[in-house]
Amino acid sequence: MSAETNILLPTSGVDLFLKDKETMEAARSLVDDWRFARVTVNVEEGDVETAIGSYQNIRSPSLVIIETDTTDDSFIERLGALSEYCSETTNAIIIGPVNDVNLYRNLTSLGISDYLVKPVPLETLSEVIATTLIEKLGAKGSRLIGVVGSKGGVGTTALTQVLAWALSEEMDQKTILLDAAGGWSSLGVGIGFEPSASLHEAVKAAENKDEDTLARMYHKANDKLTVLATGIDPMLETSVQANQYEALIDVLMTSYPVVLVDLSGAIPSLKKTIINRAHELLLVTTPVLSSLRAARTLLQEVKLLQGGEASSVDLLVNMVGMASSKEVPKKDIAAALEYEPDAVIPFDPKLFLGAENEGKKITQGKEGKEVISALMPILTKLLGEGDLVDNTKEPGGVIADLLGKMTQKK
């Protein structure tokens, strides 16, 4: 399982038309994978002819996987017949009998997403499906990073801003920063801009795929860092719902390799959704008992959500030294949480309050650089192996274009 696919997958449908018993068993086991909680998986014994018969009466899903015993021209022609009944947003994966590079190239040139050789083990099947569904969003290669505090007052927003500056300046990575707090957002002060939109306006633009309107809500902090300048929402009214915010995230991930979200002021359902979708979650706590207890509870809940693991969580212990005699030592924190802190940030009120109250850039000066240095191992982990790239490919399906591509090849 790669870091890119170790997330809750988007709501979608996958139909598999199979004959191989081992592959069918693997497909039916997908329901036990927490990543597939929102994916409707339908496994049917059959082949391309079965699929053609099915989609004469019902709409094809996001992804169709078809097993075949033959890979000659007659099968390619039947795929063309299938494309006439498939939605233009449907992708296809073929499972065949032989490992043939030329066949793979031929199928992918026609628009088939992938070609696998039967039998297909569960790990391979789940990874290929997950990758295909993420590619359909246009978000392949992007990283969604959530930052959440164990409780209020632990410095979540300040550290999120440090991460945003560091990702864009130190790591030279195109990044967009957004806040899920609605009218409670304080990013405008910390980054230095006047909020120009509400979260409701932002999610509406995303739902309408109105990227021009969305772009007018952006504040350019530097050449690499963009901030979604929300914050004019009424403070005492209900914020946007989790599914609306997720739709906004989907749109942003098609254009930004790194999407960084401050979850400190989000409603619980929104926090849960982004935590499950995030490739990496930064959990901010302080070394005092109440904060650490909350951090332990949250870690346990994340493990329950994600199949018993919390491998995507980084623990940041902030404000160390604020009240030394009352703080829990680092070694005891690790023992109590059963989780080793990934970074320890010393208490520096002059640095952080200067950023919060005066809009000073938090990474300026020696003290700010020291905070970045403490976070650098996490930053390297966040980006994964290799450079992330801008996503410019339009998401969508391929199988409905198959017939046209076959005609062009004749």
For residue range 249-282, list pLDDT tens digits in order: 999 998 999 999 999 999 999 999 999 999 999 9
Average pLDDT of span 107-125: 91
Which CATH number covers residue 310?
Answer: 3.40.50.300
Please indicate, yes or no, whether residues 348 and 403 belong to a single structural domain of this protein. Answer: no
pLDDT digits (tens, 9 = 90+) for 194-246: 999 999 999 999 999 898 999 999 999 999 999 999 999 999 988 899 999 99
Please indicate, yes or no, whether residues 19 and 102 belong to a single structural domain of this protein. Answer: yes
Number of structural domains the chain divides into = 2
- The answer as to whether 285 is a domain residue is yes
Please indicate, yes or no, whether residues 93 and 157 belong to a single structural domain of this protein. Answer: no
- The answer as to whether 276 is a domain residue is yes
**Whose CA is closest to 277, among 14, 90, 42, 34?**
34
Close Cβ partners of 377 (under 8 Å, ≥ 6 residues apart) = 342, 343
CA 152/CA 266 separation, integer angstroms = 11
Q: If pLDDT is split at 50, 70 and 90, which confidence band does 383 have?
A: confident
CA 288/CA 293 separation, integer angstroms = 9
Alpha carbon 145 to its chain centroid, in Å, reads: 7
Please indicate, yes or no, whether residues 238 and 375 belong to a single structural domain of this protein. Answer: yes
Please indicate, yes or no, whether residues 172 and 93 belong to a single structural domain of this protein. Answer: no
Q: If pLDDT is split at 50, 70 and 90, which confidence band does 360 have?
A: low
Measured in degrees and rounded to the nearest 5, phi and psi for residue 161 equal -65, -40
Whether pLDDT at 391 is above 60: no
Please indicate, yes or no, whether residues 119 and 221 belong to a single structural domain of this protein. Answer: no
Residue 153 structural domain: 143-383
Cα–Cα distances (Å) from 17 to 51, 98, 134, 206, in that order, read 7, 18, 21, 34
Token digits for 185? 């957002």
Q: 373-405: string of b/e by CB count within 10 Å (b at 16+)?
A: ebbeebbeebbeeeebeebeeeeebbbbebbee
Please indicate, yes or no, whether residues 152 and 208 belong to a single structural domain of this protein. Answer: yes
- Entry pTM: 0.85
Whether pLDDT at 112 is above 70: yes
Close Cβ partners of 46 (under 8 Å, ≥ 6 residues apart) = 17, 18, 19
Please indicate, yes or no, whether residues 197 and 309 belong to a single structural domain of this protein. Answer: yes
Any idea which of 104-108, 305-309, 347-351, 390-394 has the lowest mean pLDDT? 390-394
